[in-house]
Structure 1
Amino acid sequence: MRKKEKSTFRKIEHHRTETFFLIVRGLEVGVVAGLVSALYRFLLSKAESANHAVLTAIAGKPLYIALFLAALAGIGYLVSQLVRWQPLSSSSGIPQITGEIRGHLDAPWWQVLLAKIAGGTLSILSGLSLGREGPSIQLGGMAAKGIAKVTKADKTTQLRMISCGGGAGLAAAFNAPLAGMMFTLEEIHKTLDGNILCMGIVSTITADYISKLFFGQNTVFHYTTADIPLKSYWILLLLGIVLGLAGVGYNALMLLGQKWIGKIKAPVRMMLVFVCSGVLGLFVPQLLGGGHTMVTLLLQEHPTIKILILLLLGKFLFSLLSFASGAPGGIFFPLLILGTYLGAIYAEAAIAWFGLAPELWQELVVVSMAGFFAAIVRAPMTGIILVFEMTGNLDSLLPLAVVSLTSYTLADLLGSTPIYTALLENLLRPEDKAAARRNRPGEKVLKTYVLPLGSALDGKCIKDIDWGRHCLIVSIERGDTAVTPKGDTTLHAGDTLVVMVSQRRFARDNDRLEALIDPKS
């Protein structure tokens, strides 16, 4: 008992003087997450090239085509067994990391790394319409968890490292360190935590540097944009509305597709989707993979609006099938590609109907990526920063903000659940939550909460709030001042609360505290 008390006291004291410690941990996380994500990116690049080479070689040869489709069925079965061995390696990986951070999951890091890398590579080798970005976030988080386990980090540090590892994985996948950091705060944590910010900046920059050592410093997309006249910004508002509606429809259909296709047994489901990929590859190879081919087609050949619509529908349906199969791979990059095609279709219509200057069509294509992302993921700041870093064009910042905030607001008003929130709810089964709680030791965890404007706790004394039996307010950070919490201490909007909870009850207490602080509750 005394040993536990000393450990708890050291944890509280360590919290007060840990900036250097956070920087060191950030470097560790950035290195391992960057290396793992770079490896995954390299393997997927080779796998996509191999798929293209095979499709070219077997074209017009019925016997080879039959053998190819049979091989795809076999690969589909193999991937289903990998997912069966480690279920948390399936699909995107972002909900799994969020569940880990919130205390609902406790994934075996090395199994997830092996299954995700192998399964994701085989899926792209087979041509499935899946992205590398969601898996890179999970791989970065699990690599960070591995380092935390090896170095015997306490649970608080481990959770921070997993969070920052996820952001570092995204930074390495997109060459976008700021977006990786923002995604960690806006989507995974949904709050501004100074400790996460400190460690995360170091880890994402480090991972981005490592990625650029291997893949160069070029941006992901190479668009030529022009300034939209201020008098034409109503066209951007209308685009935001279109993207908001499209995002709501995307979320609903993806979740419905996952529900219905998920009723088919996993081996059969994956074998069918993998064979379907082979058939599509023989006729419409542009639909395969994450979507880089579709971007090249859009920029170099400028397809007609009819072709744009057909490719948009085809990419959406195949992405739905690929994701609903449960194969390792994400929807992050494919949804950005869908956003570009929605923008291209809208641009063609705006040029024909509204007299928009033809040279502005690429500007609408660029901002549509961020707007569609904001409506689906409900993380507008991440979308704005991500597209800026992917294109390297700061001139589009205002149009990006207008379109993203419009689509975000409309999706929120329509009550659409953010896609990764909905996927996390589908992922968490009662038996998984119970098993995670049973497997946790009785260690204490420090969790940071920022008191927002409009919270019911604003202006209340600590003693007047029901925190629960297992929560202890360790400190209150008010600006640059650390306030020692007492019963009669009054809380104010903007306060950063550092709360100690039991690891065994972390998921339950964390959910309750978030609901307590939330202004909407």
Structure 2
Amino acid sequence: MNERRPTPLLRAWVLTDAQRFLLLAVLIGVSTGLLVVCFHTSIELIDFSVHDTGTAPLMRVLWPALGAAAAALIVRVIPASAGSGIVQTKSALYVSNGHISFAAVPGKFAACALSIGTGTPLGPEDPALLMGAGIASRLGRVFNLSQRSMRLIAPTGAAAGIAAAFNTPITGVLFVMEEVVAGFDAAVMGSIVLAAVSSVVTSRLFLGDSPLFSAPEVVAIGGWRALLSYVVLGVTAGLFATTYVRVMTLLRYRLGAIHLPPLVGPLCAGLMVGAVGLVWPDVLGTGYRAMDAALHNQYAWSTMAMLAVVKMLVSGVAFGAGTPGGLFAPTLFLGVMLGGAFGGLAPGWLPVAAGPQGTLVLAGMAAMFAGVFRAPMTAVFMAFELSGTAESIVPAMITATLAFLVARQLHRQSILDVVAEHEGAVLPSARLVRPDAPLHVEDAATPVSDHVLVVNTTWSAPEALAHIQSSSAESALVFGANGRWMLLDVAALRSAMADEQAWEAFKTGSAPSVDGRPLEYRNVEPVYPDEWLDVALRQLARAPVVPVISRLDHRHLLGVVTGDDVRRAYGFERASPPA
């Protein structure tokens, strides 16, 4: 039977995979734009109902607590809606092949609308990023995309979400390429641009095309005194950004170490936020109104300095307590207030130009964003797109670059690295990229076989001895009490495990002894599936077996890599011994 071939007319209507992917990017952008419009509207309606209707002082204290507790309850029911959203999106790209639970979309929408709308001092942009990525992941599964396309679909939705949230297509594209994808990959650039543009066009149909802030008075840079002012502001912002990251790190770990019930932490943080809001109401919620006022010189420099300090503390407490919300808006708030305070204070103390307030405020905003998120290119174009003034570009370039360099020198981690580490994930940043290399660790990794015994320290002594004695493996991998993977000789371990006390000592991190001599072992550095294969090769120079672990859980062993595995991956087989 002859196979029927499509006619030329039919072939003209059959789309290639690349064309289908680009059309899907437009659909993702439109869907995300509509969702972000609803998200912003919900936050504004809740905010108006709570704060703009003559609420009594007691209720003004209680509303942030009630909103945070309600949001925490949603997170309890839908764990995928926790956090800011950026770490989850990067995890989808580098760990779970683009898969994001769709439950995160309605969960994040409801939790963040309630928390931010009632006054939690966090932002809606990061949650919008996750919601866009969640929509993209869902549509990718509906259209049965390949694994490679699914990996690329999450950042496409993320760009749509952040572009619609800020009403800034360039910022959305640059942030996703600079921080989420961690590089400018031609394979994903086209889809990201299409999704960002289509989401912004959709949101502007409902919210208008005005920038987030009304355009302030901004003048082009001129003279050495003006240049010096931007240099000093950039260095100052780098120091302030480092302080903010360290404060967030401290609060995140200290509050997490208290081990309060899931609803109690956000509730207590909300009460504190509400009490502070009685004195400093401008720090509540997104802070957009206060930022716009600062751009137009409506605050004294001392007020802006105090607002920056208060916002740093309350946003750190809220986020550290587990209240869902984003970090973009608080960071921009700090930068705006820092730039405004600098503009009012510095001319009286330093040989710098006074200049228009708006110029320094925008430059401070860009500098703070670059220092906290380590995304200087995004920061520069954000200042331009949020204000609509091209004269802001050069001052923003100077301050953002210096703040980035100072912050990176003083603190190796960005705020996203801190959040990821606290959640137990090790994700690539702009300094650690998964390139399109010929081979990665996952190409050579093999399941744990009889050649490697994985010892579980939760076993009792008889269970451990039974597993060890029945194994034909020559080497054993153990995740030790010191939080590191260890490689041991099974024969020696079998002799040591005959003593129950030796096993208990081993479980607590003490090496047992064989005939009075300590059992020899070596710490081995694990590798991740998405790393270059030569990373595993370097580790194989130190140990015959290298564990492959999950970026989300260091104790989760995905497989192992040996020298034979690497040779097979490269197409080489071990030479047969001579006869």
**TM-score category, normalised to shorter length:** 0.7 to 0.9
Query: Do the aligned partners of 1:175 and 1:212 also contact (CA within 8 Å) in 2?
Result: yes
Q: Identify the match of residue 386 of structure 1 among 382, 387, 391.
A: 382
Q: Which structure's CA Rg is the greater one?
A: 2
Give the distance between the partners of 2:408 and 2:536, measured in 1 at CA.
Answer: 21
Question: What is the one-letter code of the residue matched to 1:228?
Answer: I
What whole-Å deviation, never above 9, does each CA across 1:461-517 have from its counterpart, x for those lacking one?
Answer: x7xxx8557169xxxxxxxxxxxxxxxxxxxxxxxxxxxxxxxxxx93213469689
SS at match of 2:531: helix
Which residue pairs with 1:368 in the alignment? 364
Give the distance between the partners of 1:26 and 1:37, measured in 2 at CA.
Answer: 16
Which residue pairs with 1:253 in the alignment? 247
Which residue pairs with 1:7 in the alignment? none
Consecutive unaligned residues of structure 2, counting only runs of 5 or more, are: 1-15, 428-432, 446-526, 538-579
Query: Do the aligned partners of 2:98 and 2:150 also contact (CA within 8 Å) in 1?
Result: no
Alignment of 1:51-200 (within 5 A): 51-54=50-53, 56-59=54-57, 65=58, 73-103=65-95, 109-200=101-192
Q: Return closer, same or farther for 1:219/1:107 CA change in 2, 3 Å cut-off.
A: same
Give the distance between the partners of 1:123 and 1:416, measured in 2 at CA.
Answer: 31
Q: Identify the match of residue 278 of structure 2 among 273, 277, 282.
A: 282
RMSD: 2.7
Q: Return closer, same or farther for 1:125/1:146 CA change in 2, 3 Å cut-off.
A: same
Q: Return closer, same or farther for 1:469/1:172 CA change in 2, 3 Å cut-off.
A: closer
Give the distance between the partners of 2:136 and 2:46, measured in 1 at CA.
Answer: 25
Which residue pairs with 1:45 in the alignment? 44
Give the distance between the partners of 1:516 and 1:411, measured in 2 at CA.
Answer: 31
Question: What is the one-letter code of the residue matched to 1:93?
Answer: G
2:34 is aligned with 1:29: no
SS at match of 1:92: coil
SS at match of 2:528: helix
Which residue pairs with 1:492 in the alignment? none
Which residue pairs with 1:508 in the alignment? 528
Alignment of 1:407-422 (within 5 A): 407-422=403-418
Query: Do the aligned partners of 1:192 and 1:450 also contact (CA within 8 Å) in 2?
Result: no
**Segment of structure 1 superposing worse, 27-36 or 93-102:** 27-36
2:221 is aligned with 1:228: yes
Question: Equivalent pairs: percent with the same residue?
Answer: 25
Query: Do the aligned partners of 1:96 and 1:105 also contact (CA within 8 Å) in 2?
Result: no
Give the distance between the partners of 1:516 and 1:241, measured in 2 at CA.
Answer: 39
Q: Which structure has more helix as a fraction of its residues?
A: 1
How far is the alpha carbon of 1:297 from its aligned partner?
Answer: 3.7
What whole-Å deviation, never above 9, does each CA across 1:291-345 have from its counterpart, x for those lacking one?
Answer: 1132244245632232222211111111111211212211101110100111111
Number of residue-to-residue matches in the alignment: 433
How far is the alpha carbon of 1:125 from its aligned partner?
Answer: 2.8
SS at match of 2:88: helix
Which structure's relative contact order is higher, taking Cα pairs within 8 Å and 6+ residues apart? 1
TM-score (norm 2): 0.70
Give the distance between the partners of 2:534 and 2:39, measured in 1 at CA.
Answer: 34
Give the distance between the partners of 1:84 and 1:105, measured in 2 at CA.
Answer: 25
Q: Return closer, same or farther for 1:415/1:199 CA change in 2, 3 Å cut-off.
A: same
Alignment of 1:438-477 (within 5 A): 449=435, 467-468=440-441, 470=443
SS at match of 1:336: helix
Q: Return closer, same or farther for 1:471/1:48 CA change in 2, 3 Å cut-off.
A: farther
Give the distance between the partners of 1:121 and 1:203, measured in 2 at CA.
Answer: 23
Give the distance between the partners of 1:166 and 1:314, measured in 2 at CA.
Answer: 30
Query: Do the aligned partners of 1:126 and 1:274 also contact (CA within 8 Å) in 2?
Result: no
Question: What is the one-letter code of the residue matched to 2:32?
Answer: A
How far is the alpha carbon of 1:276 from its aligned partner?
Answer: 2.4
**Segment of structure 1 superposing worse, 278-287 or 359-368:** 278-287
Question: What is the one-letter code of the residue matched to 1:227?
Answer: A
2:236 is aligned with 1:242: yes
SS at match of 2:435: strand
How far is the alpha carbon of 1:103 from its aligned partner?
Answer: 0.9
Q: Return closer, same or farther for 1:118/1:98 CA change in 2, 3 Å cut-off.
A: same
What whole-Å deviation, never above 9, does each CA across 1:110-152 have from its counterpart, x for those lacking one?
Answer: 2111211111111023211010001010010001111112222
Which residue pairs with 1:441 in the alignment? none
Give the distance between the partners of 1:258 and 1:297, measured in 2 at CA.
Answer: 30
**Segment of structure 1 superposing worse, 300-309 or 216-225:** 300-309
Query: Do the aligned partners of 2:256 and 2:321 also contact (CA within 8 Å) in 1?
Result: yes
How far is the alpha carbon of 1:87 from its aligned partner?
Answer: 2.2
Question: What is the one-letter code of the residue matched to 1:239?
Answer: L
Query: Do the aligned partners of 1:104 and 1:428 also contact (CA within 8 Å) in 2?
Result: no
Give the distance between the partners of 1:113 and 1:387, measured in 2 at CA.
Answer: 28
TM-score (norm 1): 0.77
Question: What is the one-letter code of the residue matched to 1:280?
Answer: V
Which residue pairs with 1:427 in the alignment? 423
Q: Return closer, same or farther for 1:28/1:514 CA change in 2, 3 Å cut-off.
A: farther
